[in-house]
């Protein structure tokens, strides 16, 4: 594979991931539904394309990281979609968190045209995207994984091949299940500590060194204490992920009651107008349940 790379989806995560690829010396062809979000990358030398198809035609490897399953479907299978550029030698990699069955179905269509596809959802938020420390969960053929590894290494630190296309998404669902419960626990701890009159910065620093230590305490609790609810990962996208996990669990005849409760709490946050805030804004829903502002 050469150095011509496509990148579609230039939001909070995608813009930083694409920027790192440019910094690593790759020639980028980019597309985003809102062209203004591509300006910074174009300023760094990226080539703007007017459609996903043109990105795919120019690039040998094309990454996508968009919002919802319907966006994935549109980018790949819609008018002027990537499927129109699928051909021998073309490799696509969907890094959106989406339905495992959707990426598997798209991969089948791509492979029918002689191309290949991987799914590679990520975890690590905006900080991980900027610093190149993302955890990348990959579903791909061995050949596709080998071709993608140099690029994955620019974007992440933990990179695991979990199986064929769809396996990356299932792994991400497991990741989101853990995060949902952890975010609830961290939020409740902050509310409890505040009500008890503790020095919250000291409390977070103390409990993060023991068995409660986790990424959420280290990265999101400090944002809450500063009143920073800007999105590293948006509430509305997390609600989407939890919904996918619950749908998949139902198909497997599994009950995930903690995840269902967490999703209901986040739906309450969204109803309060916080859908585009970061997931750490969950503390606001808990404050509402307490009937007054605590933090």
CA–CA dist 18, 82 (Å, integer): 18
> Cα angle vertex 102, ends 233, 135, to 5°?
40
Active site residue 37: no
Alpha-carbon torsion angle 121, 124, 126, 128, nearest 10:
-110
Q: Is 58 helix (H, G, I), strand (E, B) or coil?
A: helix
Burial 177-208 (b: 16+ CB within 10 A, else e): bebbbbbbebbebbbebbeeeeebeebbeebb
Q: Annotated catalytic residue: which of 90, 99, 172, 284?
A: 172
**Catalytic site residues?**
172
């Amino acid at each position: 594979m050469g150095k011509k790379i496509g990148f579609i989806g230039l939001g909070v995560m995608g813009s930083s991931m694409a920027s790192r690829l440019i910094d690593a010396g790759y020639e980028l062809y980019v597309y985003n539904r809102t062209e203004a979000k591509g300006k910074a990358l174009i300023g760094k030398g990226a080539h703007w394309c007017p459609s996903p198809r043109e990105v795919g035609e120019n690039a040998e490897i094309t990454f996508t990281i968009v919002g919802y399953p319907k966006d994935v479907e549109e980018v790949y299978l819609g008018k002027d979609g990537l499927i129109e550029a699928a051909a021998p030698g073309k490799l696509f990699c969907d890094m959106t968190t989406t339905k495992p069955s959707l990426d598997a179905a798209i991969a089948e269509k791509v492979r029918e045209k002689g191309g290949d596809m991987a799914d590679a959802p990520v975890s690590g938020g905006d900080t991980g995207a900027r610093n190149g420390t993302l955890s990348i969960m990959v579903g791909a053929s061995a050949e596709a994984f080998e071709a993608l590894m140099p690029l994955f290494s620019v974007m992440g630190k933990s990179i695991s091949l979990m199986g064929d296309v769809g396996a990356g998404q299932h792994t991400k669902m497991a990741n989101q299940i853990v995060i949902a419960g952890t975010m609830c626990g961290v939020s409740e701890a902050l509310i409890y500590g505040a009500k008890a009159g503790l020095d919250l910065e000291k409390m977070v620093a103390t409990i993060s060194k023991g068995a409660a230590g986790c990424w959420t305490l280290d990265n999101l609790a400090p944002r809450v204490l500063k009143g920073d609810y800007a999105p590293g990962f948006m509430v509305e996208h997390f609600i989407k992920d939890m919904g996918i996990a619950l749908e998949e669990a139902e198909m497997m005849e599994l009950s995930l009651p903690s995840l269902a409760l967490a999703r209901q709490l986040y739906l309450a946050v969204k109803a309060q107008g916080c859908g585009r805030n970061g997931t750490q804004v969950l503390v606001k829903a808990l404050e509402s349940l307490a009937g007054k502002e605590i933090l």
